[in-house]
Amino acid sequence: MKTVYLDNAATTSVAPEVLEEMLPFFKEEFGNPSSFHSFGSSQMEAIEKARGQVARLLGAKCEEIFFTSGGTESDNQAIRGAVKIDSARTGIVTSAVEHPAVMETANVLEDEGNSLGIVGVNKNGELDLESLKGLVNQQTAIVSIMAANNETGVIMPLKKAAKITHEAGALFHTDAVQMVGKVPIDVHALNIDILSLSAHKLHGPKGVGAIYIKKGIKLPPILTGGHQEKGVRSGTYNTPGIVGLGKAAELALTHLNDTASKERKLRESFEKQVLESCPGSFVVADGAEYRLPGTVTIIFEGIESEAVLTLLDMQGVYASSGSACSTGSKNPSHVLYAMGIDYTLANSALRFSLSRYTTKEEIKRTVELLSKVVERLRSISPYTQ
Amino acid sequence: MKTVYLDNAATTSVAPEVLEEMLPFFKEEFGNPSSFHSFGSSQMEAIEKARGQVARLLGAKCEEIFFTSGGTESDNQAIRGAVKIDSARTGIVTSAVEHPAVMETANVLEDEGNSLGIVGVNKNGELDLESLKGLVNQQTAIVSIMAANNETGVIMPLKKAAKITHEAGALFHTDAVQMVGKVPIDVHALNIDILSLSAHKLHGPKGVGAIYIKKGIKLPPILTGGHQEKGVRSGTYNTPGIVGLGKAAELALTHLNDTASKERKLRESFEKQVLESCPGSFVVADGAEYRLPGTVTIIFEGIESEAVLTLLDMQGVYASSGSACSTGSKNPSHVLYAMGIDYTLANSALRFSLSRYTTKEEIKRTVELLSKVVERLRSISPYTQ
């Protein structure tokens, strides 16, 4: 059975070019980049090449990029590090729709005594900038606002949020895991201080990511040890992973405009066809000003999303009921809740996320299957009798 | 030129069987293990298989194994986590010969207000158990003693150290990165509470490791987020890396006795030949009761180790002047210093570390080259004129 993978916001396939670039570092090129001998130290060249590839994708300088084990580690370092820089500034401000790597970390730090302010969103999932203004102050260490939401695809006003943050003298961090590689981003133009990204969301390997830290900011490490990455992140270099991230970043940059335009067309066509063929369905955050090209959450009123997912799954079509990042969580989405969507509707939400490999045929097949599945479930649902 | 790799304490080659096991998870099996759909969730089986493979190598239960990004992260979590468990116990005790991932973390926490006690070693690099007794007390949160030293190969008396630790009611952690897969270890028999290991030291991939946490101990996470690994370590599962670590652990267990015996014979023969052919050389920690089978540091009096390394390197023989873990460090080894070896001698130290792939022919070639190199350097050294 040919499968259709529409869960690219959870993770993406590794691009064949990325794996090809990684393989030598699992085979003959296995040395430790920190070693004195040429067999190890020659690998630093590959690592520095990858650093350049990531920097170019972000509009950053090479020396502003540090490799980590992934988005979660980068987010943790951003927040846990920032609250340690200045003992007079220990407050955290974040949004109500963040990924758990930010949200949970902020909550844990609040339990440990840091103040925490939560910025709300409107019914389209867009950040309430006025609320941000009211929450950030002279005690704020860091404001962390995601670049694009992992469930709705809504893109946040980073430049405006960064400006408000800087007026209060705090650091501005963005979890850009969902955005990097999907739409252009320029950290300097947007005045971002710290940015998190993950390789496996842009057709790179799992277990590797990066943190951009604007030159001049001394962000304390959360992993201490052998002083790799200028002491910003200790631990033996994951050379294959880093090389894979670099190649993935290069490919993303090459395809950036084409991918965005292709994904947008496919997603818009998908939305249109689903709304037409499935009565009682609507697109979440439909009125948002900016959304990611390839991510959409659709609510099918009166139907449990897990039932739809199961029936799609049986036919080899893979989507999501929200974030895959909260393992085994049965709670309804905090993102939809923050947008004022009630529990019952939130339980009827399905996320479809495309990639540059998604085809028109796959979208067609998904729409056809979806309309049948929704019709079938509607016919047996107690809510729709 | 055929090369000889004798720097396996820095990192090892990925076993072909390990890479083979990983590859499907870079290709068709790329889903997110935390996803609801079968395409992702089926990967949890592979992860649980790997957990069993690692558990068996350590004599642990599956539920005591948690996957991390490597030894440095595991060490950081052990120490940073342990000092948070009980506010009445915030002290750290460690040895003078630890890896930077432990040493530096302990130093950073001391700067933040935690008390720190350092246990010395004797001239053979063996732990001073009487000193440990004097340092551990009712305020101690954790005692962290490495299983085997990365420079000398000296194996520490873990069972005795754990007993002393437990008598004071503290937790016992061991950085076993150098020991796991080289000699048998049984965490329950040794009464170890927390253990760190790294895949790339036992022919697994870089960027993945594990932490063993004895059942019943609630070690706080250092990476918070989506509650993967029962909340002990958040972050998207690095499935290929975890599967690779599992296979590497399985292979290590299969070969354990053969490898230890083969490496020991080769290393002893290497030592004997080097001492015979290079006058003024001696083996560090030669009188230690227990050493790793395949790791040895030899001091060549009157010669700078970096000169030897460079000349060996030019002939394709790769060794080390100590740890590769402190990037770019030019300081003499803190391990040798703790053993009472002076600065000049420490600068003449070379580490050779074998693996199960090391051959008799490679050892022969290294000895021949080494004697020539040492003779040549002696002839131009101002110290030996």
Say what the pLDDT of residue A327 is: 44
User: Of the ranges A75-79, A131-135, B325-329, which one carries the lowest mean pLDDT score?
Assistant: B325-329
Question: Is A234 close to B72, i.e. CB distance below 8 A?
Answer: yes
Q: Is residue B305 included in any domain, yes or no?
A: yes
What is the pLDDT confidence band of residue B240, given thresholds at 50, 70 and 90? very high
Q: Which of A22, A105, A312 lies closest to B225 in CB terms?
A: A105
Q: Does B31 touch chain A (CB under 8 A)?
A: yes
Closest CA to B350 of B152, B147, B98: B152
Match 């045929």 to its residue by tokens.
Answer: A361
What is the pLDDT confidence band of residue B332, given thresholds at 50, 70 and 90? confident
Residue B295 makes CB contacts below 8 A (sequence gap 6+) with B9, B148, B150, B151, B152, B153, B178, B267, B351, B352, B353, B354
> Is pLDDT of A266 > 90?
yes
Chain A segment 270-329 residues within 8 A of B by beta carbon are 306, 309, 312-313, 318-321, 323-329
CATH number of the domain that A285 lies in? 3.90.1150.10
> Coil, helix or strand for A90?
coil
> Coil, helix or strand for A4?
strand
Give the DSSP letter of residue B189.
Answer: T
Do B166 and B43 belong together in one domain?
yes
Closest CA to B76 of A199, A73, A79, A198: A73
Say what the pLDDT of residue A40 is: 81
User: Which residues of A are less than 8 Å from B240 in CB distance?
Assistant: 205-207
Q: What is the pLDDT of residues B95-149, one digit of tens each?
A: 999 999 999 999 999 999 999 999 999 999 999 999 999 999 999 999 999 999 9
What is the pLDDT confidence band of residue B42, given thresholds at 50, 70 and 90? confident
Task: Report how many domains make up chain A.
Answer: 2
List the single residue in A with minimal CA-CA distance to B308: A37
Do A177 and A263 belong together in one domain?
no
> Is pLDDT of B325 > 60?
no
Q: Is residue A218 included in any domain, yes or no?
A: yes
User: Which residues of A are less than 8 Å from B11 in CB distance?
Assistant: 30-32, 35, 40, 236
Q: Is residue A219 included in any domain, yes or no?
A: yes
> Is pLDDT of A384 > 60?
no
Q: How far is A309 from chain B (nearest CA, A)?
A: 7
The ipTM is 0.95
CB burial of residue A351 (10 Å; 0-12, 13-18, 19+): buried
Do A74 and A198 belong together in one domain?
yes
Do A137 and A206 belong together in one domain?
yes
User: Which residues of A are less than 8 Å from B37 in CB distance?
Assistant: 7, 309, 312-313, 318-320
Q: Is residue A380 included in any domain, yes or no?
A: no
CATH number of the domain that B168 lies in? 3.40.640.10
List the single residue in A with minimal CA-CA distance to B306: A36
Q: DSSP labels for A165-230? A: HHHTT-EEEEE-TTTBTTB---HHHHT-SEEEEEGGGTTS-TT-EEEEE-TT--PPPSS-SS--GG
- Residues of A identified as active-site: 325
pTM for the predicted model, two decimal places: 0.96
Do B361 and B243 belong together in one domain?
no
Q: How far is B315 from chain A (nearest CA, A)?
A: 11
Range of the domain at A127: 16-251
Q: DSSP labels for B255-313? A: HHHHHHHHHHHHHHHHHHHHHHHSTTEEETTTT-S-B-TTEEEEEETTS-HHHHHHHHH
Q: Does A90 touch chain B (CB under 8 A)?
A: no
Q: Is residue A382 included in any domain, yes or no?
A: no
Q: What is the pLDDT of residues A178-215, one digit of tens each?
A: 999 999 999 999 999 999 999 999 999 999 999 999 99
Quick check: is B325 catalytic? Answer: yes
- Mutation test of the interface with chain B: which of A2, A35, A84, choosing the one with the most B Cβ atoms within 10 A? A35
Question: Is B35 close to A320, i.e. CB distance below 8 A?
Answer: yes
Question: Is B235 close to A101, i.e. CB distance below 8 A?
Answer: yes
Q: Is residue B379 included in any domain, yes or no?
A: no
Last residue of a domain, one of B251, B273, B299: B251
